[in-house]
Amino acid sequence: VGRVTSASVLRSDGSTDYFGSWQDATEAARRDLVELEYDYGPHLLPVQSQPARGMWRYSGLLPLTSEQIRYPVVVGGTPLVNSVRLQATSGMAHLLVKDETRGPTGSMKDRATALVLEHGLRNGADTVTCASSGNIATSLAVGAAACGIRAVVFVPASVGLAKLTLMLLSKATVFKVTEGYEAAFTLSNRAASHYGWLNRNTGINPMTIEAKKTVGLEIWEQLGHQVPDVVVVPVGDGPTLCGVAKAFRELVACGAATRQPRLIGVQAAGCQPLKVAWETGQLPRATATNTIADGIAVAAPVSAPQVLRDIRQSGGAFVSVTDAEMLEAIRTLAENAGLVAEPAGAAGYAGVGAAVRSGLLDSGERTVVLLTGTGLKIPNALQPVTTAREISASVEDLARELGTDA
């Protein structure tokens, strides 16, 4: 098990402060970002013979003491899909898809939920809160219910019905906030301070990046301890991308890798503040979002300094994709690779095409794309181009429909 040796706070003006513990750093951070450092070395890496245990396989690089894991839901250990059909369709001979739809609530958010609640269980938390466009709150509601911890979640009033239903099914206390996600985020943070609740919020709780890091560690292990050339990641607030970046940084620090992959962040054309900031050096003022991809519709990303730093350090880039491109990506993934994605989840795959077209990605590069969320929770975003025909149960009817002899 790794020892957290220091925690740093990356201030929004780009400066960094260092602290002896992540608790002190979190206290001092307010809305700035806390990052943890470990006593890096090969001793933190999992050994081959260890049983898989999902994301807990990487406990050495997580801020955990060696106690038995208490979180009761299985998370992590998702497949790295090698689809020959998808490779042919995309023209990317070495494309792999990290299928994060396999978590308990079908999104990569389940990893961060697991680590936050593991800490909650160890510290006797009775209530946990978050703000969310949908997936984080669904994940937290389901995970907290399994732990016997109360979840109080704040979502935009426009939240999708299936996600909301899952939150309510898990008996979470759900508040729909009229003014939308950013206001829900502020309210959730204020409620956490006021009531002393455990705060799972993105960009506030350093556990979210630590947990998301495990996806990068899995990719490295699934590739036979190799680093891919490029990882393509849908970006809303940014911790998913920051987690992947930190995974490969720490593999280098542990002596397990000699380089990091280039990171390509994918935003929605209708909400691309980080792409604009990357291009112009200035984060634009938050404006109304205009995309079906609710998971990446974050107009005022709190993790902006960290995401921009990580993209820059990796030699990567941002691209944006339209709603139509995401819908097309959803169809392509379903038709070719047995993968069912939601719009934000498919944004990464759509971004692969955009990156190739703009010369940011070479079709021969070993590329891993993160598929971050399942389409099963947003059935109205699955827009097939074919329809079902109703027939009577007779071979003659069937033959007529198929245009064959009976």
Ligand X SMILES: Cc1ncc(COP(=O)(O)O)c(C=O)c1O
List residues binding ligand X (CB under 6 A): 107, 133, 135-136, 202, 234-240, 295-296, 342, 344-345, 372-373
Strands (DSSP E) contained in 220-351 are 230-234, 262-268, 317-321
> CB of 348: closest distance to ligand X in angstroms?
8
| Smaller CB separation from ligand X, 60 or 301 | 301
Quote the least distance from Cβ 357 to ligand X, whole Å: 22
Q: Which two three-digit tokens encode residue 95?
A: 């494309």
Q: Name the minimum Å distance from CB 66 to ligand X.
A: 28
Rounded least distance, CB 328 to ligand X, Å: 17
Q: How many CB atoms lie within 10 A of CB 406?
A: 10
Reference 250, options 79, 43, 17, 66; nearest CA is 43
Question: Is the CB of 254 or the CB of 323 nearer to ligand X?
Answer: 323
Nearer to ligand X (CB atom), residue 60 or residue 295:
295
3-state DSSP helix/strand/coil percent for the chain, to nearest 5? 45, 15, 40
Distance CA 226, CA 181 (A): 38
Comparison of 44 and 297: residue with beta carbon closer to ligand X: 297
Q: In what order do the strands lie in the sheet with 33-38?
A: 16-19, 4-10, 33-38
Residue with smaller CB distance to ligand X, 60 or 238: 238
Q: Provide the minimum distance between the beta carbon of 402 and ligand X in the complex, in angstroms, as a whole number.
A: 38
Question: 117 near 139, Cβ under 8 Å?
Answer: no
Question: Shortest gap between Cβ of 306 and ligand X (angstroms)?
Answer: 11
Q: Which helix (H) or strand (E) holds 19?
A: strand 16-19
Return the number of the residue (134 or 228) whose C-beta is nearest ligand X.
Answer: 134
